[in-house]
Structure formats: C-alpha cells, structure tokens
Amino acid sequence: MGKRALITGITGQDGSFLSEFLLNKGYEVHGIIRRSSVDFRERIAHLEGKPGFHLHFADLGDSMSIVKVVGQVQPDEIYNLAAQSHVQVSFDAPEFTADVDAVGVLRILEAVRACHLEKRCRIYQASTSELYGKVEAVPQNEETPFHPYSPYAVAKLYGYWIVKEYREAYGMYCCSGILFNHESERRGETFVTRKITLAAARIAQGLQDRLLLGNLSSKRDWGYARDYVECMWLMLQQERPDDYVIATGVQHTVREFADLAFRHVGITLRWEGEGADEKGICTAGPDRLVGKILVAVSPDFYRPTDVVNLLGDPSKARRELGWDPARTSFEQLVALMAEADMAKVAAEGAAAKVRTNLAEYLEKGIVK
Ligand code: NAP
Ligand code: GDD
C-alpha cells in the first residue's frame, strides 16, 4: 500500500503541483477544499475523478472540520499549505490572516494529537522568507534572525514557532520549509510576477494599454514552484525533522522581471524617471507600441511596510536533502510564464471573438 497524504491548500499553486508529484509517487492524495460560490477548481480540475485523488470540505478556521478529516483520512503525511497568502491583502484583512495563517497551524497540530496520530503522522508547514522581513542580513539562512514586516509575516511566525514547540514538547515529526518566492504559470494573478506576464501578453496582443506596478526596486529570490514541492516531500522523508531554507540563491528586482517578460513577448523597454515617476517606455516592438509608456508606477500598490531584499542561501537543503536549487533558472522561469500567458491570452481572445461573432449573427438572425 502506498502512503496517504492530506494536503490543505490543495486548490492553490503549490497544492496542485504537490498533488501531481505525490500521485506520481503512488500516494493516495486527500485534499481539503472550501465551499465556494464557483464550483470550478481550475488548478486541480485535471485531477478530480482520478483514482487515488479525494477531496473533503473543511476550513482551517474550523477546528472540528479539521479533526473530522484527519480522523477519517488517517494520513501518514500532512502538508499544511492553506493560507491567506497575499501579503498586501493581509494589511486589509489582518484578523482573518492571523486566524488562518497562525491559529490554523495550531488547529492542524492539535487535530493530529486529538486523533492519536502524533507518533505516526509527519507534518510539513508552509513557512516563508517573509519571516526575515526587514532583513537583518543578506543572504538569509536558517540562522538569520527573523524580523516579520506585515500582518501575514507575523501570523506565519507564530506558525513557525508552534511547529518547533510541538516538535520539542511532544516529539512530533513536524517541520517548516522556509520557502522563498516561487512562481509558475499557475501563480495567482495578483502576485507581481504573474501580474507582469499576463499584462505583457495582453499588451502584446492589443488587449491592454498599460501595466501599473508598485515598488519596482524590490528584490526577490524567485524559483519555480514545480521544483519547490519536491523539497516539501524530501523534508518529510528524513531521519529527523528539521527546518530548511528553500531558495535559488539568485536575486532580481521587479524591474528586471518586467524587462525580461516584455522582451519575451517581443517588446523592449527603456526605464526613465525614479520612484513614483518611473516609467517603462517601449523602444522596440510592434509599431503601434513604440514610444508609448507601457509600465507606470501607482502608489496604490505600495505597502505600508515592504520587504525589499530577499535572497536565500539554500546550502543546507542542497547538502542534507540533495536538492538542486539551479534546476530552473530565472530566465527559464520568466520564459515559461510569459509563453503560457501568451497562449492563454490568445485562446481567450479567440473565444471572445467567437462570442462577439455569435452575438452579431444572433442579432442579424443568421443564427437562430
Ligand atoms: P495560494 O495559491 O494562494 O493557495 C492558498 C491555498 O490556501 C488555496 O488552496 C486556498 O483555498 C487555501 N485556503 C485559504 N484559506 C483557507 C482556509 N481558511 N481553509 C482552507 N483552505 C484555505 O498559495 P501558494 O502560493 O500555493 O502557497 C502555498 C503556501 O505556501 C501558503 O501557505 C503560502 O503562504 C506559503 N508560501 C508561498 C510562497 C510562494 O512564493 N508561493 C512562498 C513561501 C510560502 P481557496 O482556493 O479556496 O482560496
Ligand atoms: N503583488 C504586487 N503587485 N507586488 C508588487 C507590485 C504589484 O503591483 N509592484 C511591486 N510589487 C512588489 C511588492 O511590493 C513586493 O515587494 C514584491 O513585488 C513581491 O510581491 P508579491 O509578488 O505580492 O509577493 P510577496 O513577496 O509579497 O509574497 C509572496 O512570497 C512570499 C515569500 O517571500 C507570497 O507568495 C507569500 O505567500 C510568500 O510567503
């Protein structure tokens, strides 16, 4: 019999890649989903109905629902990926963020204890480089002091410490992956990388005029999400539980990401001005765009406190987990995201054209 995994946050970017990874390894995969007014779960629709793939209604804000699912599934491994994961949104909804991202972790740990699975069930907690926040050293490793700098990061810090506490107090096999930003063609559309690749594709195809961004000078260590889910699994296969930094060790600015994404869709930008006055002007590309401002800054996307210098040191993961941080380069990541969005926008454009034609045909009585 293969192992049984329970994934919270299965509908998210990482949950979908992790599900595919574990199914390929022969796991029975169970996931927690929330009731939503829209029934289509885009990232896992291709897995629903497959043998070994099961979904359960529960919510990280509802202890009883978690206890019920954990008791029913009796998992060998739990991957706690569920979170209100948007840093800017955490300033608008700080209490909800704390409930899910902090107390939610405690609810998982207690559910495992309530079901008497603490000796058998291993737990992965999705921790984050946001813990370093207003960074006290560059690059950041497992020893770097934390300085969380948003309601999201403060909530995640609780999750990190409660996992450590349960490991030491009850001898549970639970660990935190301190993951730096990881992106993909499945990334949520309001995170900066996906916002950029989608806008670049829409601008290239004449469906959008301009992209508005916040802090262009912010630096991130961006990796590919598909590579990172393997680390989550590796952390649960070790002799002893421990916490690991997962990163590429390479850093770029938001501006550099935008520059490269636009180049991939055939548009060259020149950057002019500073701060809120900075602009990305098209110097080469389709004639209709040359000379136009395609990227501008809007203070609407500034954060009350912003984390601006993340760079991870993945030496421990390389050494102890045998993980290769250089599997997908920054250039490959930008290319695969830009290409996926070019195809998505083209398909949406074609569908919209069919709908427009259909409306016209109906109006003219050509189609009845
Ligand atoms: P994501 O795409 O935003 O997915 C978040 C998932 O959490 C979704 O499945 C969401 O469900 C679920 N969720 C939210 N609130 C919930 C609740 N109350 N009960 C149950 N499920 C809930 O995030 P991601 O990028 O895959 O990230 C996965 C985890 O890693 C998160 O914990 C994130 O904070 C952490 N992390 C991410 C990164 C990164 O760069 N991606 C880096 C470090 C850490 P719905 O679909 O129903 O909304
Ligand atoms: N979202 C967004 N939108 N960010 C922008 C924009 C914009 O228009 N313009 C500039 N930025 C800057 C933000 O200020 C931030 O400094 C940086 O781009 C990255 O923002 P996000 O892509 O929203 O990601 P994040 O780093 O705040 O958070 C992500 O990574 C964390 C790991 O470090 C999320 O996935 C978190 O869940 C994760 O923990």
Tens digit of each residue's pLDDT (9 = 90 or more) over 143-197: 999 999 999 999 999 999 999 999 999 999 999 999 999 999 999 999 999 999 9
At residue 368, does pLDDT exceed 70? no
End-to-end CA distance of the chain: 56
Q: Which atom of ligand 2 is nearest to the CA of 153?
A: 39
The answer to whether residue 336 scores a pLDDT higher than 80 is: yes
- Work out the average pLDDT over 90-104: 98
pLDDT in tens, 15-62: 999 999 999 999 999 999 999 999 899 999 999 999 999 999 999 999
Pick the atom of ligand 2 nearest to 129's CA: 33
Closest residue by Cα to atom 6, ligand 1, is 9
User: Measured between alpha carbons, how far is residue 178 from residues 8, 73, 152, 159, 167 in Å?
Assistant: 17, 27, 14, 11, 16
Which amino acid does the sequence have at 183?
A: E
Look up residue 242 and give its two tokens. 């421990």
Whole-number Å distance, alpha carbon 21 to ligand 1 midpoint, is: 17
Please tell me the distance between residue 356's alpha carbon and the centre of ligand 1 in angstroms. Answer: 36
215 lines ligand 2 (CB under 6 A): yes
**Which residue has the CA at smallest separation from atom 2 of ligand 2?**
192
* Alpha helix ranges (H) inside 86-191: 87-92, 94-98, 104-114, 151-170
Query: Which residue's CA is minimally distant from atom 3 of ligand 2?
Result: 192
| Number of other CB atoms surrounding residue 363 within 10 Å | 9
Q: Is 128 a catalytic residue?
A: yes
Please compute the mean of the pLDDT values over residues 95-119 and round it to a whole number: 98
Burial 57-80 (b: 16+ CB within 10 A, else e): ebbbeebebbbbbbeebebbbbbb
Which residue is listed with tokens 């998992």? 75
Q: What is the mean predicted confidence (pLDDT) over 69-82?
A: 98
CA of 74 to the centre of ligand 2 (A): 35
Cα–ligand 2 centroid distance for 73 (angstroms): 34
pLDDT band at 362 (very low <50, low <70, confident <90, very high): low
Closest-lying ligand to the alpha carbon of 86?
2
Among 8, 14, 69, 70, the mutation site with the greatest number of ligand 1 atoms within 8 A of its Cβ is 14
Atom of ligand 1 nearest to the CA of 13: 26
Residue of 97, 127, 128, 191 with the most ligand 2 atoms within 8 Å of its CB, for mutation: 191
Helix (H) or strand (E) holding 364: helix 330-364
Check pocket membership of 251 for ligand 1, CB cut-off 6 A.
no
User: What are 52-62's pLDDT values in tens digits?
Assistant: 999 999 999 99
Give the C-alpha separation, 112 to 109, whole Å.
5
Is the preceding omega at residue 148 within 30 degrees of 0, hence cis? no
Distance set, CA 38 to CA 41, 60, 316 (Å): 8, 19, 42
pTM of this prediction? 0.96
**pLDDT the model gives residue 175:** 98
Band of the pLDDT at 358, cuts 50, 70, 90? low
Nearest CA to ligand 2 atom 9: 214
Q: Is 31 in the pocket of ligand 1 (CB under 6 A)?
A: no
Mean pLDDT, the chain, whole residue set = 96
> Could you tell me if the CB of 181 is within 6 A of ligand 2?
yes
